[in-house]
């Protein structure tokens, strides 16, 4: 908005002074009168009006540059997130990887082949993440959210995914052996070609899972599973799974 506008010519000093009822106020009135004249002359200076237009124009240019560089800023943010993940590769702890993974996933960046083995990712939210051929070996991702995530051909071996949500997830051809899934939800998950040898599946929700083409389930614990599909438990028992329905000290 241009605030510059020509001002009216101030009254002469004698007239202005005659209106002052108290002499003690004359110094203040005189200062104000001087400023009125200064403002009057400056308001007629075209250079100041040009400066106001330039100021508004500079704001417009700044806004244009801000939006034109938004792609570069987003790319830099993604680069920093990947740097956090890659720098901590193979190390324990979180190292900022929870936030980095979630940030990339929220921006729909594929996490194909990501290596977060041995990381502490408890409570991570990777809903609908694209994590084909990812390495989550020995990861601690208890109470994680992998709903509808694509984890095809991923390595989750020896991980801790207690209480995690794999509803609708694609776990085809995954290595899930010796992994703790106690209390997890696999509702609607695809397990074709998956290896579940020695996995802890106690108290898991198995409603509507695709199980007919599971590669191996030898030694897996299936005590107190919920909503198993028809025929699944009989098949699992025939292929070496443990179906004890009694109390389980490690997976209540």
pLDDT digits (tens, 9 = 90+) for 238-247: 999 998 766 5
Cβ contact 151:170 at 8 Å? yes
Torsion from C-alpha of 132, 138, 143, 144, nearest 10 degrees? -20
Q: Is the pLDDT of residue 14 over 90?
A: no
Give CB contacts under 8 A, 24+ apart, made by 220-228: 220/196, 221/248, 221/251, 223/248, 223/251, 224/248, 224/251, 225/201, 227/187
Would you say the C-alpha torsion 212, 214, 219, 220 has a positive or negative sign?
Answer: negative
Q: Is the pLDDT of residue 114 over 70?
A: yes
| Tokens of residue 204, six digits | 């898991």
Q: Is the pLDDT of residue 128 over 50?
A: yes
CA-CA distances (angstroms) from residue 7 to 10, 142, 233?
9, 71, 91
CA-CA distances (angstroms) from residue 130 to 92, 114, 124?
23, 10, 14
Cβ contact 148:129 at 8 Å? no
Q: Is the pLDDT of residue 47 over 60?
A: no
Cβ contact 111:101 at 8 Å? yes
Of 185, 244, 234, give the one whose Cα is nearest residue 212: 234
Q: Is the pLDDT of residue 125 over 50?
A: yes
Mean pLDDT along residues 133-152: 97
pLDDT interval class at 173 (50, 70, 90): very high
Distance CA 208, CA 166 (A): 12
Cβ contact 180:158 at 8 Å? no
Of residues 29 and 80, more confidence is placed in: 80
Highest mean pLDDT among 47-51, 58-62, 131-135: 131-135
Q: Is the pLDDT of residue 32 over 60?
A: yes
pLDDT interval class at 30 (50, 70, 90): low
* CB count in 10 Å sphere of residue 7: 14
- For the chain, which domains are there? 24-68 (no CATH), 91-244 (2.160.20)
pTM: 0.72
| Tokens of residue 37, six digits | 């004249």
Burial zone of 4 (CB within 10 Å; 0-12 exposed, 13-18 middle, 19+ buried): middle
């Amino acid at each position: 908005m241009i605030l510059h506008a020509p001002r009216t010519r101030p009254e002469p000093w004698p007239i202005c002074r005659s209106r002052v009822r108290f002499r003690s106020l004359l110094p203040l009135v005189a200062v104000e009168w001087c400023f009125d004249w200064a403002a009057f002359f400056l308001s007629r200076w075209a250079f100041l009006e040009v400066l106001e237009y330039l100021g508004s124009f500079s704001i417009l240019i700044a806004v244009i540059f801000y939006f034109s560089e938004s792609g570069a800023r987003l790319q830099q943010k993604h680069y920093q997130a990947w740097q956090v993940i890659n720098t901590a590769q193979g190390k324990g702890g979180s190292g900022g990887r929870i936030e980095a993974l979630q940030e990339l996933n929220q921006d729909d960046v594929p996490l194909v082949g990501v290596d977060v083995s041995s990381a502490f990712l408890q409570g991570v939210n990777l809903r609908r993440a694209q994590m084909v051929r990812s390495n989550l070996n020995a990861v601690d991702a208890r109470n994680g959210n992998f709903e509808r995530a694509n984890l095809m051909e991923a390595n989750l071996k020896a991980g801790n995914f207690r209480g995690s949500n794999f509803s609708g997830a694609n776990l085809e051809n995954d290595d899930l052996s010796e992994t703790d899934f106690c209390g997890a939800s696999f509702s609607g998950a695809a397990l074709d070609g998956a290896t579940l040898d020695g996995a802890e599946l106690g108290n898991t929700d198995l409603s509507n899972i695709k199980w007919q083409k599971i590669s191996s389930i030898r030694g897996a614990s299936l005590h107190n599973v919920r909503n198993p599909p028809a025929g699944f438990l009989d098949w699992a028992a025939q292929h070496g799974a443990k179906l004890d329905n009694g109390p389980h000290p490690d997976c209540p």
